[in-house]
Every structure is written in structure tokens, then in C-alpha cells.
Structure 1
């Protein structure tokens, strides 16, 4: 148990201090003996040697305890292994000691929603253990979210102020060593803007028995509530109107698709996406992501040659969705027949104001008299778009659906 580890950690600290004090006292005794007899007595020497051995063991124990506590603070279990958010809620002392007969609520901060889906050491990385078995075993792959394309940073307020570049006149030119005229002057203009922090929340009701059913409680939290937050957050990041309580999403701010002058024969959806990537790149930020509706992505994956061979899909194997070297996010949050490409990592940034908070309470409607509990999950986040021109929003209207010629 974490409380036992903390108690042992404090005891080791106290023992280590006690040994240090004794060594200090014996050092003074040894100095007196050496001054009086030119050597240390055998009794003092034996005592000092024993204390030095004890000190080494205590330091080793202290280091081990510190490592376990560090893992626990980053979401690990009592054995140091990472835990899911649902498991952390179940393991919380407030939940274990929750008294359903007492109409009170319990709030448990369990860390970032994103922390439950990464492969880092503090998340789910060490849960994937190597195992030698016949054949190839591939773990299931969770689809990308738009939030995975963005860089995330912390914020402490209810709004994020930022500076956006609105114009850049580049007059740089070669000049003489000793020019008679002033060197060319360039110009950069900026504007101050701000985006509010939005709150996304939802809840479910369950019988009080669910509190003692650990697997069921984890399923409620991991499988429904937190995934639901991710889905709605993605919708806000993409299409939030910026009006009222909504985020200001990327699509309402993105530039409209316009071919910058590339000639394409028999243009297909794949061609149009490549031109859109070029359009974003001409805005000085290289595009690094594509967002499509699942219907459009399926049509692209099913593209065949004239002899009915798949152009680039591998039906018998797993492949990370990608096109033109960029990851593809296939999400119902995107409208069918539409696309969004852009420089997600540089042209915009998402801000985490408050990580996922899970609250369990009987104080909701008639929960107390019906032996029910309400489990609420919510998060607070914001989005800032630094360069709207680095994102291109368009549609596939007018593209050629015909198959490409068969390869020789």
C-alpha cells in the first residue's frame, strides 16, 4: 500500500539520520583517542565500521523507496507498474472508504486523459511485455485523434492570450560591403488575441453496487466517460464555433482550398490532398497531418488499378493510416466529402487547463433514496491557432473517381 511505503520511507530517513548522528559522535570520540593515544581504540573502530555498514544499507533502502514513490506519483501501482485512470480512481482511498449511506461527494484527480493513451514509461508503455510465441502477435491499435497531432502545454487561467503574426514583408537582399544607401528594411506585424478555456463534461448513473465492483467501475470510467471526453474534445478542436461556451476550432479559421497553379491530369482525391498540402506549405509551415471522414478515407484505401489491384492498401495486414508521408486522422467529427490538412504541430497549440477529474456522488436528484450514484468526468482545455493559413479546408467535389491505369 502507498501509505505503508511512505511510512517505511520516513522511518528509513529517521534511521539514517540517527546513524549519521552516531557517526558524528564517534568521530569526536576517535579524535580524542587519537590525540591521547595516537590511535583509535578497537571498540570505537568496530562501532564505526558497523555504523558505516548500516549507513550503506539504509541509503540503498532509501533509494529503492524513493523510486517506488516516484512511480506511484506518476500513476503507478504499489508494485511500480503504471495504472489506467480507472484503476487510479478505484485505488484512491476516498473511493475505497466511500460511504454510500452518507450523502456526500468524492472528487479524485487522476491525471491527464492523454496520459492514459500514450506509450511513455509513466503511462501504458511497460504494460506491453515481450512474449515469445509462435507467429506474430500485434497489439490492437487505437485510432489517432486530432489532439494527437497537436502540441499540448499547461495553462493556469480561464483564457490564453497569444500573439499572432498577421503580415511579413521580406525585403532581404544582397548589399555591398559599404553601401551608399541604407540596407533594406523588412516588416513584421502582429496582433494580440486570446482564446477562452472550454469545459467538457458528462456523467453516468449507476447502482451503488458498482462501487464495490472494481472491473465494472474501471469499465465505466475508461471505456465510456474518458473516451467520450476525447470524442467531444476532437469535435471542438475541429469545428468549435468560438461562440458562447465553444472553443474556436481549426476549420472555422482555416484557409479555403485553392489550387495554387498545379496542373493535374485526371485529378483524384489523393491528388487534391497533395495540392492542399502544398498550399499549406506555401504559407511557410510544412503540413504534418490530414483529417478525413471515415467514408472518404475508406474510398481512398480502396483505390484500385484498372486490373482491380489495390493501389497502396494492404488488406491482409495492419498499417498506420497515412498518406503522402503524413498521418491520417479518420474521424466522424469531419464532414463527409471534406478534408483538413495543415501544420498541426507548429500552426496551432492546445492547452490543458485541468486534467480529467472524476467525481462520484449520491447528491444528484433521487440517487440517495434509490441506491444510485452519479459518476461525473470533465476536463478543461483551450486551443490557439497561430497561423490560420497553415491549415487548408476543402472538399472532394469534382475529383475523378476512375481507377488509374494498370501497372505494366
Structure 2
């Protein structure tokens, strides 16, 4: 016949009560004996120690059984409530809902106040999730997309403005008739023509949305977002400086205004290097010496890897650490797809100037659309600039030979 946990607990309780009574009785006898004789006999002392030891052991077993029975009763009660016999762990929501701290917090809500409620690890583990997903390994840093280095802005003369537009006078032509003249004769007349130009300030901007918590909790992510937004802005600026068509709010870029490549002569076995040198000559003949070249990364790699008949690099130096240059002028490489197979040679410092009305800046707002309701933020990055191509003839734009001939 099986004995239930409840009956077993009752039997142990009865044994504890009996042992307690026996211990109390013998303890009183020992105290009485010690009082009458002034000392306690060894036999009485041994008997009392034995009863005390048995009582302590029995009392310990009683407490352990009582605790075990309490756990069993909780499991049974939970199973009866759920209508099944599994021992499901409480979820985070259940722990929060039953928490005394949450109840007290709900009764006296204060703005900006936080409440801390301890949650066991078991409650954080979701059911039905594959092993290894709950505790992923955190890799250091952020894997960001690669970026090119932008140099076009650095080549152009810098400037600043506080106006919404730039007004300047552009020299459009010059006929030089200077000559030696005799006494009392009319002097030759040269002609210089000008045109007034107005360049409006354009805004270049973009934005994106992010979770407010993730930017608050992850400072490295915030700095990365700031850097990426600024890079995206500069990349768009790079394309506008080179290819802006001047319509609407677009900048009037250098390429649409540049002079077409027209070589003064054609050398034997024309190469890409020859084209760049003849473009320098064309700028020189326009009396505006070139200060740099712009080519695509791919085309510059082709130029640097060209070899002579003995297999020696013509201009490239695999161990060199100096900045790229050709014909004693700096070479700027760009990754803009429209520049593949093209080149731009010109006097960047003299022929164009970029005016900053508002420097690139990053602004964060929580009041855009429904950001407040969704606890999101909107991050905006923008700048205001104006480009003045003062001397279009200072720039030569052309196409590189597709298949350069090895000399």
C-alpha cells in the first residue's frame, strides 16, 4: 500500500513531536539532578546528548520533507490550473505582471522613473528557438561598407558665402592684338569679353531612420552612422562637381562646361599617357596651365602597370610610397562609373571654386512623422554649396584609348 506525501509528512511530524516531548522531559530531569547534587552524572549526560542528536536529525528530515512537499504541491497546482501536467517556466511577462514592484509602480506612476524587476535566465529563453540563437557571440566593431577617398573638392579652390547665390563676372574671350607701333601712329586695339554669371546655392542631403534605443545604447554605432552619412553626402557632392548639368537644383559641373579634347598633334603609337600629356598642352595653349588629372581607378591601374619591351614598369613602382602623379602633376582616381575610359585634365585651383554656405552637418530628431509613437529617430545629413566654374577652358575632357600600344 502506497503512502502519500501528505501522510508521510504527518508521520514525521508525529515523530518530531514525540522526540521533542522526550527531549524536554529528559532535559528537565537532568536540570533537577544537577540542582540537587550540584553536578550531572555521566549516564544522564550521555542520555541527554543522544536524545538531542536524534531530535536534531529528525527535525532536519522533517524540514526537508516539508520543503519537497511544498514544491510538489506547487507543480500540481500549476498543472491543474493549466489543464495539463507539464512544468512550464514563467515567461518574462508573467514575472513582470505578478511582481510586487510593478504593482507599486503602477499605483504611483512618475515621469522618467524606472523600476528594476529581477528576471531569471530561464524566463529569457524562448520556446521553439534553435540552439545557439539565444546567446550569440558578439564580434567587436562594426562591419561597414568600404569607402573611396574623395579628392576632387581638395583640388578646387575653397570659398565661403553667406548668400543664397554667387554672382561673378566671367571672362569669355580675349583677342590679343598687341604689337610694335611707330611714333604718332594709332595703337592696336585688343578685345576682352565678359559675361555675368549667377550660381545658386544647392542643398545636398539625405536621411534615414533608426531605433532610439540602439543609438543610445551603442555609442560606436552612433559614430559609425555619423561617418557613413557624411561619406554618402560627399559622394553625391563628388558627382555633382563633375557631372552636374545645372538644371533645377543641380550644380553646373565641370565636365559639361569643359573643353573637348583636341590634341595639337598626334604622336606615333598613341597611349593613354600621351593623351594626358597632350591635354596638358591644350590647357597651356589656352594660357591656363593644368594642375592635375582625374581618371577612373581602373584606367589608372592600367597606366601604372604598363611595361616596356623588357618588362620594366614605365611609370609604376610597386615599392613606391609617393602620391600618384603623371607629367609632374597629381593624379586623382575616382570610382564614379561614368568616368571609366575618360579623363579630365585642367587647372582646378584657377578654373573653379566651391563655396560652402552650410558645412556638412548631422541632425537627429524624434518629431518626424510617427517617430515619437514608434520610439524611432530620424537622422539627417546635409550641406549647402555653390560651384563656380570661372574658366571652362581651363578643363580638358576626353576619352582614353581603349587599347594602348606598348612602345
TM-score normalized by structure 1? 0.61
Q: How does 1:1-400 map to 2 (within 5 A)?
A: 143-176=149-182, 179-209=183-213, 210-222=215-227, 224-260=228-264, 262-333=265-336, 334-397=338-401
Are 1:403 and 2:389 counterparts?
A: no
Greater Cα radius of gyration, structure 1 or 2: 2
2:260–2:396: 8 Å Cα contact kept in structure 1? yes
Q: How far, CA to CA, are the matches of 2:403 and 2:361 in structure 1?
A: 48
3-state SS of the aligned residue for 1:381? strand
How many residues are paired up? Answer: 260
1:364–1:374: 8 Å Cα contact kept in structure 2? yes
Query: Could you give the per-residue CA deviations for residues 210-247 of structure 1, whole angstroms, max 9, x where no partner exists?
Result: 1353322111112x011111111010000001011110
Query: Could you give the per-residue CA deviations for residues 150-180 of structure 1, whole angstroms, max 9, x where no partner exists?
Result: 011111222111111111121222344xx21
Q: How far, CA to CA, are the matches of 1:301 and 1:395 in structure 2?
A: 18
Report how far residue 142 of structure 1 moved.
Answer: 7.5
2:150–2:238: 8 Å Cα contact kept in structure 1? no
1:266–1:400: 8 Å Cα contact kept in structure 2? no
Query: Could you give the per-residue CA deviations for residues 276-314 of structure 1, whole angstroms, max 9, x where no partner exists?
Result: 111111111111111111111111111112232222212
3-state SS of the aligned residue for 1:248? coil
2:148–2:335: 8 Å Cα contact kept in structure 1? no
Q: How far, CA to CA, are the matches of 1:310 and 1:184 in structure 2?
A: 53
Q: How far, CA to CA, are the matches of 2:362 and 2:231 in structure 1?
A: 13
TM-score normalized by structure 2? 0.61
Q: How far, CA to CA, are the matches of 1:331 and 1:242 in structure 2?
A: 21
Q: How far, CA to CA, are the matches of 1:335 and 1:156 in structure 2?
A: 33
3-state SS of the aligned residue for 2:371? coil
3-state SS of the aligned residue for 2:374? coil
Structure 2: gaps (5+ residues): 1-111, 113-146
1:143–1:329: 8 Å Cα contact kept in structure 2? no
3-state SS of the aligned residue for 1:234? helix
2:150–2:235: 8 Å Cα contact kept in structure 1? no
Which structure would you say has the larger RCO, counting Cα contacts within 8 Å and 6 or more residues apart? 1
